[in-house]
Structure 1
Amino acid sequence: MWPAESSTRHPDAALLTVRGLRKSFASNRVLASVDITVERGKVLALIGPSGSGKTTLLRCLNGLAIADGGTIDVAGELNLDFAAAPSRPQLAALRDRSAMVFQHYNLFPHMTVLQNIIEGPVVVQRRSREEATAEALTLLDRVGLTEKRDSHPFELSGGQQQRVGIVRALALRPQLLLFDEPTSALDPELVGDVLRLIRELADEGWTMVIATHELEFAREVAHEVAFIDGGVILESGSPAQVLRDPQHPRTRQFLQRLLFPFERPASDTDE
């Protein structure tokens, strides 16, 4: 497998810079004005309640949703200004530089595992079927799923489907990997294999943005954690700072409820 893009080739340069990103669906404002920066080879973990804007932000970064305003810059080579409608080639270039791993796998049910993986490289990126197949088999071997190459998604466990989803993303050779709650649809006993694979990718220097509720995983893997609520980044910093000593009251409230879901909030306790 090819290596992740090395940060040593571009010292002090961000791979992803987002400024003032906004997105609404009809009258529902989902992203108010989001600013994030992710350096090459680093991992940003997005945490926040359901409906806070995490998924919409990831979809905007992949071009699956079109922002209403703000800018996205990738590697200083691609800059999209959503104040003016980006061109189709710009959106295609954004999708080519990033790859999404979805919460519910999103594998094509009528295709085999191998067909799911090579579809993007062959159809979208116009690479040869032989090259794409050889690369797909190498990736499947890495995640221990070579024997599943001819299986269909319904024949796989949830953890196996998600590992195939990660392989499918890697096969596109992206600069940026995006994960939308990659373990939330899994049975607890299947979570470990997926998290170990993501941790390996982080160790190899892949640049990633991960929306997750796995706080211990975020603490171990992420270089920066950002808390988003109401479409706004309310707090960001190192995992130690945000997860152990949050400064914003809403961050503290969210972490308290996530870590101790059966405790009554302090404001509700008896005097």
Structure 2
Amino acid sequence: MSPTDAVLQVRGLGKSFGSNTVLRGIDLDIPRGKVVALIGPSGSGKTTILRSLNGLETPDGGSVTVGARDNSAEGPLTVDFGDAALPKKARAAQLSALRDRSAMVFQHYNLFPHMTVLQNVIEGPVQVQKRPRAEVVAEAEKLLDRVGLLEKKDAYPFELSGGQQQRVGIVRALALKPQLLLFDEPTSALDPELVDDVLAVIKELADEGWTMVIVTHELAFARQTADEVVFMADGLVVERGPASQVLRHPKEERTQAFVRRLLHEI
């Protein structure tokens, strides 16, 4: 698959924190409009992959390529983390460009507490992307209306439920018009009764053809939404394949044990 066919290509991604190696040569290919779910035990490297794709973490080696933008003269962007000779300023520019093409929805919302809902949503497009404020506000209000939160646009995060805050987090990501949406356990911090509303929004985005990487422990949701499931352990990809195959009939023993345990806990 060439960069023109894929939104994302990852090759040989490696990362260590001191003596702890968390990613061991990860490869991923995600075609445009597809959804990949990353599953696996805590500490397997799933969140580190997402943070690397969003430029929040700098891997020790490997490369990330994000394909050409639709309707744009910009070609594919490749960041080679193995290029030790690259000056720090050039690396910072690459990471900034990587963040411009992807958007992260965090586990614990990460909304700015001193800003209203609307201010949280427009901050990135206006301050970072330098887009016209009036245009951004109009788009933000449409997105908030879509997830049923337009009437909360002047509220502050502490006035919202966890589910409402997470939906604002999703809108904030969409407002950046990314090529790639990244979700880090988007429901794990929510009370059970609030989970369905958030999952419904993500499922709708998948149906619309957004390209997404989702770290999740919600196996039923992954089976319904993901085109591919990747099971990770100890910084390695142990098994990958169609969601129905990996989650219903996993081939590897480690995958089988993980799926059995999670289904038993549910």
Normalised by the length of structure 2, the TM-score is 0.93
The alpha-carbon deviation at position 261 of structure 1 amounts to 3.4
5 Å-filtered alignment, 1:54-203, equals 54-75=46-67, 77-84=76-83, 85=86, 87-203=91-207
Match of 1:31 in 2: 23
Q: Report the CA distance between 1:91 and its aligned residue.
A: 1.1
- The separation in 1 between residues aligned to 2:24 and 2:144, in whole angstroms, is 40
Structure 1 residue 88: deviation in Å? 2.1
Q: Counterpart of 1:3? A: none
Shift of 1:39: 0.4
Give the whole-Å Cα distance in 1 for the aligned partners of 2:259 and 2:18.
31
Partner SS, residue 8 of structure 2:
strand
| Aligned position for 2:5 | 13
Q: How big is the shift at 1:11?
A: 11
Deviations 1:3-23 (A, max 9, x none): xxxxxxx99811100011001
Question: Of the candidates 33, 38, 44, which is equivalent to residue 41 of structure 1?
Answer: 33
For the aligned residues, what is the CA RMSD?
A: 1.5
* Partner SS for 1:87: helix
Of 205, 210, 213, the residue aligned with 2:214 is 210
TM-superposition CA deviations, 1:74-121 (whole Å, max 9, x none): 115101111015622211110000000000000000110000000000
Runs of 4+ in 1 over 3 A off after TM superposition: none
Q: What is the DSSP-based 3-state SS (H/G/I as helix, E as strand, rest coil) of the residue aligned with 1:209?
A: strand
Deviations 1:123-163 (A, max 9, x none): 10001111111111010010110110010000000000000
Deviation of residue 59 (structure 1)? 0.2
Determine which of 215, 232, 242 is the counterpart of 1:238.
242
Q: Deviations over 1:23-61 (max 9, x none)?
A: 111111111111111000000000001111111110000
Instruction: Show the counterpart of 1:4.
Output: none
3-state SS in 1 of match to 2:109? coil
The letter of the residue matching 2:19 is: S
Q: Which residue of 2 aligns with 1:219?
A: 223
Task: Give the TM-score normalised by structure 1.
Answer: 0.91
1:267 aligned residue? none
Flag the 1:225–1:121 CA change in 2: closer, same or farther, 3 A: same
Q: Partners in 2 of 1:228 and 1:131 — Cα distance? A: 41
What CA distance in whole angstroms lies between the structure 2 residues aligned with 1:261 and 1:253? 12
Task: Measure, in 2, the Cα distance between the counterparts of 1:139 and 1:150.
Answer: 14
Per the alignment, residue 265 of structure 1 pairs with none
Structure-2 separation of matches of 1:261 and 1:97: 36
Contact map agreement 2:4 2:67 (CA 8 A) in 1: no
Partner of 2:259: 255
Label 1:126 to 1:11 Cα distance change in 2 as closer, same or farther (>3 A): closer
Work out the CA distance in 1 between the residues paired with 2:164 and 2:265: 29
Q: Deviations over 1:186-223 (max 9, x none)?
A: 01110000000000000000000000000010000000
Distance 1:66 1:11 in 2: 21
